[in-house]
Structure 1
């Protein structure tokens, strides 16, 4: 019995060593998937993390004209949402490849340094992003400025609405999803956000009430983005 156990262990070890390390790393990352993706009235909030994430990914894909799967894969391989927002924003305004910009960020240690060589004008960057870069703001704040500019550009909100929601604590994902539901139902995005925060409803329930199926989220988001004269977040 001991011989069989040792043989089994040795065989398992050999198989493990034959697997390339990148494959092991990817496996470790991709195991953190959403297990609950559909609204369940018995557990109304269980799918909310997935719904928030997939709506944000759909907005990202529509805003920058990229494949949503590409963004999801980059996140699964460890790239943060903040870095993706910033890299694609800078890439859209400079013509630089976002993947190369992500590498530059790693090498130079900050987005301010990575962006310096791009020589993007303040007008093209947008005043919010430009000021955040000059202040060497944390990546989270810089990404927030990018998202705010996109939400305003695509008319998900006007300036006072967006400022009020940010002040109330709304994050990037919540802003995108509340904007989508508000556009579909003509409800106040602030009221939607507050209702979810005080546990009076859930994002899944609100999507059900808006008659937006999970499979329709990408097309609904894209329609909102393209309604703004068909423009995307390209260089001005």
Structure 2
């Protein structure tokens, strides 16, 4: 009896430490994936994530399941935007950039280690990196660059809507709805964040099928 009790005690004491050794897994599962008029905001997190993932995959020619897997492994969407964009402009691969990022405190340290030049990254991004801007801010610069490069919005339009506090997922979803309805993206954003609408309601009004939006983004990026 005493021996059994000691074994049980050892197992009980060891369990928390074993659990601590298991890497944290971020679940990016969504129980609500369709617009429900009785709960109009329920699927909004899914709509925002799905449109951002799809736009990312379309721009960089990768698969959405890779994005989801990376998120589940703990990589932030901001770091994904930065790594893939910088890789496109340099000799580095997204994987090597993300691996280096995992050992550094910020992207400024990554840039210094890899010797990424301002000419490679562009003046605005390079200045932000040198000033140790947050990953969120750097990811916004990346998306803004993509929007201007593909002539989705002008720098002036982006600067104006960014002043309102719009995030990358909100900007991408508002732009998709704008393309379908001919309403300004800023108006759509303000209706959702400061008015009576939800993203789900705006998607429903625009008759957008989330499962088909990769086609919409492909057209938008031409």
- Work out whether 1:29 is the aligned partner of 2:26: yes
Instruction: Measure, in 1, the Cα distance between the counterparts of 2:162 and 2:59.
Output: 20
Looking at both structures, which has the greater relative contact order when contacts are Cα pairs under 8 Å and sequence separation is at least 6? Answer: 1
1:86 aligns with 2:101: no
Per the normalisation by structure 2, the TM-score is 0.84
Distance apart, 1:199 and its partner CA: 3.6
Q: How does 1:193-204 map to 2 (within 5 A)?
A: 193-204=189-200
Which residue in the other structure is 2:91 paired with? 95
CA apart distance, 1:115: 2.1
Aligned with 2:188: secondary structure? helix
Note the C-alpha offset of 1:116.
Answer: 3.2
1:207 counterpart = 2:207: no
Instruction: Give structure 1 regions of 4+ aligned residues with deviation exceeding 4 angstroms.
Output: 117-121
**How many aligned residue pairs are there?**
209
Q: RMSD between aligned alpha carbons?
A: 2.4
Deviations 1:160-182 (A, max 9, x none): 22111111111111000111111
Of 127, 133, 136, which residue of structure 2 is paired with 1:137? 133
Moved more, 212-221 or 106-115: 106-115
Report the Cα offset of residue 124 of structure 1: 3.8
1:117 Cα deviation after fit: 4.8
| 5+ long unaligned stretches in structure 2 | none
Q: Report whether the alignment pairs 1:55 with 2:51.
A: yes
2: CA distance, partners of 1:127 / 1:204: 38
**Which residue matches 2:165?**
169
